[in-house]
Structure 1
Amino acid sequence: MTDIDPQSAALRPQSTDAAAPLLIQLEGISKVFGGVKALQDVRFDIAPGEVLCLAGENGCGKSTLIKIISGVYQPEAGGTMLFDGKPMDKLTPGLARSLGIQVIWQDLALFPEMSVAENIAFEQNLGARPRLVDYGRIRQIAGRMLDRLGVAIDLEKPVRELSIAQRQMVAICRALVADARLVFMDEPTASLSKGETDALLVIVRRLASEGIAVVFVSHRLAEVLDVCSRVTVLRDGRYVGTYPTKGMTQTRLTELMTGRNFDQSVRAADRSAAPAVLSVEGLGREGDYAEIDLVVRRGEVVGLTGRLGAGRTELALSLFGMTRPDRGTIRLGGEVTDFRSNRDAIRAGIAYVSEDRLSLGLVQPQSIADNIALPVLGKLVDALGLLSKRRKAALVDDWIRQLAVKIGAPEHAVSTLSGGNQQRIVLAKWLATEPKVLILDSPTVGVDVGARAGIFEIVHRLAEAGMAILLISDEIPEVYYNSDRILHMRDGRIIADYVPGRDDIDAIEEAVHA
């Protein structure tokens, strides 16, 4: 990695058309929290019907800017905010909503026990006087919004029973009910399959065709370049520039976001002579996967890819002892294993980094130190059987140093960390168990591009030290540039294998998404 100059000729921003009418325009926006400059002299503008990307690494100030525009935070004195050419002073969340500014956060902020119709029509009842609920009107409003998007969802179904993609549609409909003119979408595709993502992008284009401005926040750079006309880049709270996406590449955008050049070269090596650490033969579990054969060797990174629903996570859960296969064998170091629980798998030397970091990977309210030490508490007791604070502190300090985790203090809640640093804590937690096999299930979900590179540097370092790694991801570039071999899973079966460098990345993407 090398530093770059964002204002070099090849990367110089291009201003928007001065004649184009702007829906919102910000100049000189700054925000300070306790002496820390979260934003400094930031610019932002968007026109009606435009789809614009707000890009930057975690912690660059994207969320702070969104909260200023939606009235949650007040900017420092000296900046200007115009909406339809008129000043927006002392903006509040209520005033922002009345102007048509809507934010769809990554967690969607829906009510899981309420019906689809109730969630969609919720905005209609904000601030209203108490009255009897008119469920017929609620269903009518919700049905009209879904028809507007061309989406069919059961209005009576509780939101908790919907897929992530369906919940996205409910959140969009709720914004439309509030007469949205500007919609921020925060990581809307982070948990969607390729097909679901394509369907969402169709909806985004439909909103733009109706004159609604959409701000797209995503770490998936390919879809950003596909759906957006311009991209505004922030770095370390500062405005880098606004650039047309026409002619922009993922590599250039990554450079703008991070100020660094990243090595996108194939790292695949032939590990066939290395001893097998994990081997699976004829493994099957009714309804999840069937006839799985795979080998992961010492020092090897094996990529496992395929669409969501292919059975990848279900296979990983069986390898980690969370579910039991119906047939087939799992061998670890050549010996047949029969895991009855994840405790058995951990004792045998298998670690599993779940795709759901927030609820399964970490205990969010607990401290950074407690999360790292959790799987190995038995190794940290003293002669009296009590937890040794000294041993715990030494373990935590060692892994924070080894993985270069950026923290305030080990006693701080793990929820205070950025997505990339949280993922490093998950890695630290499992590496502390000294595993022979590391299963990484979508390890970069919700992690920005710079942090992703750091995580994969750790992965390669572990492989070089001899660890066997199974890397699961539906993002083909991730497995292509970080694996020695790639296995393609579909409908619960492994249907093909590829070697990066020998096989073309575009051909692999086409096969996986066919």
Structure 2
Amino acid sequence: MISAASQDHPAPERRHAGAASVAVVDTQRTELLKLDNISKIFGGVKALQSIKFDVMPGEVLCLAGENGCGKSTLIKVISGVYQPEPDAVMLMDGQSIEGLDPAKARELGIQVIWQDLALFPEMTVAENIAFEQNLGPRPRLVNYRQMKVAARRILERLGVSIDLGRSVRSLSIAQRQIVAIARALVADARLVFMDEPTASLSHAETEALLKIVRRLSADGIAVVFVSHRLAEVLDVCTRVTVLRDGQYVGTFPTAGMTQTRLTELMTGRTFDYAVRTTDLSAAPVVLQVADLTRRGEYDAVSFAVRKGEILGVTGRLGAGRTELALSLFGMTRPGAGSISLDGKKLSLGSNRDAIRAGIAYVSEDRLQLGLVQPQSIGDNTVAAVLDDLLDATRLISLKKRDSLITDWIEQLAVKIGKPEDAVSTLSGGNQQRIVLAKWLATNPKLLILDSPTVGVDVGARAGIFAIIHKLAAQGMAILLISDEIPEVYFNADRILHMRNGRVVREYVPGATSIDQIERDVHA
């Protein structure tokens, strides 16, 4: 076990004041939930080994660890999906829990909001929120008036307003998160697990969600928060329980904890944080953007990216970062201005034009736009270069295909079972490596990375950025877009700050402090 008292390394991050509004844990009270000696074995593989876990009423607790550490398995044990091995101790309000299954867990007030939210997209907001109220052993008529009253009451309790008659499909991801939380409260939740609730949210949407989490805490509802965004963990949680490789590392107060220290606890490794100091002022320009404008999205944007340079772009919600990236990749047409690659002006009518010119784009939405989840790892890897795999008969050469797949899996150190496995079987970090492989196979001159570490754990993030640094060292020009300022600060040579569709300032990491950039961006 690692001691919480061991020396921290210098950290690029700080605690935020928001944590002060979370309910203070009274350690003299009985734990809402207390587990001891929780183990789970699948086919001889020890997914969990003698885990300890406890959460107090009204507490916001973080359950932290890399992908594959056992977090999801532990949550499924607590929610009755899996049965632990014999000799496990499970107490709720000090009383032993026997024969726990999903129905009994819900009766006890245990609710889980998984990352996919498990909502019904074609049903209305009210129907989704009050869904469980209409379940029962016998068929019965649905009381829509009562359903709307219950849904409205819960949303008012959360301090939000959403049209109860709208279909969930029409809602933003942030609004769907609120609907999922409201559904848990209708079911009289006392303990809510939130699995990566902010993975697809903007900074502003995340702040709104954390405000709701604090409101739940103030109402006495315990929340277990699972997130790879460690700044949020330190902001909203009072304690953090760390798992590594299915084992219990420890439970630590977040007061005084840094992202660096928490990363070390989760991974067992030390990470060095240092700004890039490469002088690329004499390197040839790969991408030149001049006065690029698209009405309502971005305005008079000008910048250059040089060979081997990583240019960071950051800013708040609505800054126009992704909209700019889509135009650079030919997905939308700018109304004015120019784009040049290697000194040649481009007229991009589609993403195919951009790919042919030598531009690759890794979308921020890996699940929907980056990968075809049901298809194999191999098929996803070669999806953008099928024309290059054709033989003399205009059919795909299996030899070329298999060679390319093997080559990129080895180069990017992707951990897989078999190339024929569905890409959905991979962890978030390995899925992102497959997205990179798909685009690197096109041999691009410019690689656009839009929030490349969304939903990726801290250890895998370091591996992905190591790949990005290697690509830059080989001469690739890279545009790195992220709303996580430490990501661009420690991985980019220069940083552009976008606000309301315009570039308002340029920074050089090291010459400007990360605190100054964060103040400017969030002012």
TM-score when scaled to structure 1?
A: 0.96
Matches of 1:373 and 1:189 in 2, distance apart? 30
Matches of 2:208 and 2:4 in 1, distance apart? 37
Task: Indicate the residue corresponding to 1:168 in structure 2.
Answer: 177
Matches of 1:413 and 1:264 in 2, distance apart? 35
> Is the Cα–Cα contact under 8 Å of residues 62 and 225 in structure 2 kept in the other structure?
yes
Matches of 1:17 and 1:153 in 2, distance apart? 35
Is the counterpart of residue 59 in structure 1 residue 68 in structure 2? yes
Matches of 2:513 and 2:28 in 1, distance apart? 44
Residue 310 of structure 1: how far off its partner (Å): 1.4
Moved more, 81-90 or 356-365: 81-90
Task: Indicate the residue corresponding to 2:329 in structure 1.
Answer: 320
Matches of 1:262 and 1:488 in 2, distance apart? 26
Change (3 A) 1:338 1:435: same
Residue 345 of structure 1: how far off its partner (Å): 0.7
Residue 11 of structure 1: how far off its partner (Å): 7.2
Spell out, residue by residue over 1:160-185, the C-alpha distance to the aligned partner (whole angstroms, 9 max, x if none). 22222222211111111000000001
Task: Indicate the residue corresponding to 1:49 in structure 2.
Answer: 58
Residue 120 of structure 1: how far off its partner (Å): 1.0
Task: Indicate the residue corresponding to 2:2 in structure 1.
Answer: 6
> Is the Cα–Cα contact under 8 Å of residues 116 and 156 in structure 1 kept in the other structure?
yes
Spell out, residue by residue over 1:353-376, the C-alpha distance to the aligned partner (whole angstroms, 9 max, x if none). 011101111111111111111111
Matches of 1:21 and 1:199 in 2, distance apart? 31
- State how many pairs are aligned: 507
What does 1:374-385 correspond to in 2, within 5 Å? 374-385=383-394
Matches of 2:166 and 2:519 in 1, distance apart? 35
* One-letter amino acid of the counterpart of residue 136, structure 1: R
Moved more, 352-361 or 147-156: 147-156
Change (3 A) 1:507 1:18: closer
Spell out, residue by residue over 1:447-488, the C-alpha distance to the aligned partner (whole angstroms, 9 max, x if none). 000000000000000000000000000000000000000001
Residue 148 of structure 1: how far off its partner (Å): 0.9
* One-letter amino acid of the counterpart of residue 99, structure 1: L
Is the counterpart of residue 343 in structure 1 residue 321 in structure 2? no
Matches of 1:87 and 1:351 in 2, distance apart? 56
**Partner-residue secondary structure (3-state), 1:131:** coil
Matches of 1:377 and 1:195 in 2, distance apart? 40
Indicate which of 210, 215, 235 corresponds to 1:206.
Answer: 215
Task: Indicate the residue corresponding to 2:492 in structure 1.
Answer: 483
Spell out, residue by residue over 1:41-84, the C-alpha distance to the aligned partner (whole angstroms, 9 max, x if none). 11111011111000001111111111110111111222111111
Residue 140 of structure 1: how far off its partner (Å): 0.5
* One-letter amino acid of the counterpart of residue 145, structure 1: I
> Is the Cα–Cα contact under 8 Å of residues 438 and 470 in structure 1 kept in the other structure?
yes
**Partner-residue secondary structure (3-state), 1:10:** coil
Is the counterpart of residue 352 in structure 1 residue 375 in structure 2? no
Indicate which of 445, 451, 471 corresponds to 1:436.
Answer: 445
Task: Indicate the residue corresponding to 2:14 in structure 1.
Answer: none
Matches of 2:319 and 2:520 in 1, distance apart? 14
Residue 308 of structure 1: how far off its partner (Å): 2.4
Indicate which of 366, 370, 378 corresponds to 2:379.
Answer: 370
Is the counterpart of residue 403 in structure 1 residue 412 in structure 2? yes
**Cα RMSD for the two superposed structures:** 1.5
What does 1:6-85 correspond to in 2, within 5 Å? 6-7=2-3, 9-10=5-6, 19-85=28-94
Residue 7 of structure 1: how far off its partner (Å): 3.6
What does 1:410-429 correspond to in 2, within 5 Å? 410-429=419-438
Indicate which of 292, 295, 302 corresponds to 1:286.
Answer: 295
Q: Which runs of 5+ in 2 are unaligned?
A: 9-24
Task: Indicate the residue corresponding to 1:98 in structure 2.
Answer: 107
**Partner-residue secondary structure (3-state), 1:179:** coil
What does 1:302-313 correspond to in 2, within 5 Å? 302-313=311-322
Task: Indicate the residue corresponding to 1:275 in structure 2.
Answer: 284
Indicate which of 246, 257, 265 corresponds to 1:256.
Answer: 265
* One-letter amino acid of the counterpart of residue 278, structure 1: L
> Is the Cα–Cα contact under 8 Å of residues 192 and 221 in structure 2 kept in the other structure?
yes
> Is the Cα–Cα contact under 8 Å of residues 146 and 152 in structure 1 kept in the other structure?
yes
Is the counterpart of residue 109 in structure 1 residue 118 in structure 2? yes
Matches of 2:53 and 2:227 in 1, distance apart? 17
Identical amino acids, percent of aligned pairs: 71
> Is the Cα–Cα contact under 8 Å of residues 204 and 317 in structure 2 kept in the other structure?
no
* One-letter amino acid of the counterpart of residue 390, structure 1: K
Residue 18 of structure 1: how far off its partner (Å): 6.4
Indicate which of 466, 470, 475 corresponds to 1:466.
Answer: 475
**Partner-residue secondary structure (3-state), 2:301:** strand
Matches of 2:77 and 2:353 in 1, distance apart? 49
> Is the Cα–Cα contact under 8 Å of residues 268 and 485 in structure 1 kept in the other structure?
no
Matches of 2:114 and 2:283 in 1, distance apart? 46
